[in-house]
């Protein structure tokens, strides 16, 4: 392999790593699907709570997160299904990674732009 090829591969890997560090894209998409209709845009939702609060809600495959939504049975069932899938950990990663004390600042890209508050606040 010549030097140029090595350089290309390194640059590619570094770029990918940077992207991965920004935010969990799969998790953000899952948030849009499952949560945004009530709690607003992804960055807004994630920023409602602190990292430790999200960790607590996601403890044991999101037991607490499910519990708070138990009153809405159709949503509860959807969340129950989602929590059984492997992709659920991406939702957790996204929310913790973008919590109010995470230090990450929401940007603008193909997936998200701006902050829109939701109808239902997560904090009373």
- Catalog residues that contact ligand HEC under the rule CB under 6 A: 34-35, 37-39, 49, 57, 65, 68-69, 72, 75, 79, 120, 122, 124
**Residue 70 C-beta: closest distance to ligand HEC, Å:** 10
Query: What span, in angstroms and rounded, lies between the C-alpha atoms of 3 and 33?
Result: 44
Minimal CA–CA distance to 111: which of 93, 123, 99, 94?
Answer: 94
The nearest distance, CB 5 to ligand HEC, in angstroms, is 43
The least CB distance from residue 86 to ligand HEC, in Å, is 15
Mention every residue, 6+ apart, whose C-beta is less than 8 A from residue 108.
Answer: 114
- With b for 16 or more beta-carbon neighbours within 10 A and e for fewer, the 4-14 pattern comes to eeeeeeeeeee
Whose CB is nearest to ligand HEC? 35
Looking at residue 117, the DSSP 8-state letter turns out to be: B
Tokens standing for residue 111: 């997936």
For ligand HEC, give the closer residue by CB, 35 or 96: 35
For the bound state, the minimum distance from the C-beta of residue 39 to ligand HEC, rounded and expressed in Å, comes to 5
Complex with ligand HEC: residue 57 or 96, whichever CB lies closer: 57
Are 99 and 54 in contact by the 8 Å Cβ rule? The answer is yes
């Amino acid at each position: 392999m010549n030097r140029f090829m090595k350089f290309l591969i390194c640059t590619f890997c570094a770029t990918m790593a940077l992207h991965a560090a920004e935010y969990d894209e799969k998790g953000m998409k899952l948030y849009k699907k499952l949560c945004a209709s009530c709690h607003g845009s992804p960055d807004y939702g994630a920023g409602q709570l602190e990292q430790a609060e999200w960790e607590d809600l996601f403890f044991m495959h999101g037991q607490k997160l499910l519990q708070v939504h138990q009153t809405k049975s159709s949503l509860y069932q959807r969340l129950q299904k989602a929590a059984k899938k492997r992709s659920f950990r991406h939702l957790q990663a996204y929310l913790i990674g973008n919590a109010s004390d995470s230090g990450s600042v929401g940007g603008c890209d193909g997936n998200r732009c701006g902050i829109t508050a939701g109808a239902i606040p997560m904090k009373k």
